[in-house]
Amino acid sequence: MLRYAAPLILLFVSNIFMTYAWYGHLKYVGAKPLIVAILISWGVAFFEYCFQVPANRIGHTVYSLPQLKIMQEVITMTIFAGFSFFVMREKLSLNYLWASFCMVGAVFFIFRGN
């Protein structure tokens, strides 16, 4: 059971770091020179890879590559919606809901048997 759950947990943590690496600089280092934002983002992205690489290595023993990718995308959208709302104070719209329905469809098709 751990082999199935570990990739999900690791991808969840990885995506938190990824979201901060990609978008956190907009809020936290927006006034700093671009090179500072790049270096900080690279530093944060290092921790993303420390979770993402093991997630994919472990996950590939029980999931197909397309299944791993779609799980990562769903997790990314979930983390991004929370980050947008709670950290960046963006308004969530119905478009997030519609995008979520599309992702659910993608999960269905990638996980159903051939």
Per-residue pLDDT of the chain (114 residues; tens, 9 = 90+): 899 999 999 999 999 999 999 999 999 998 999 999 999 999 999 999 999 999 999 999 999 999 999 999 999 999 999 999 999 999 989 998 899 899 999 999 999 975
Rounded to whole angstroms, how far apart are CA atoms 39 and 92? 30
Rounded to whole angstroms, how far apart are CA atoms 105 and 93? 20
pTM for the model: 0.89
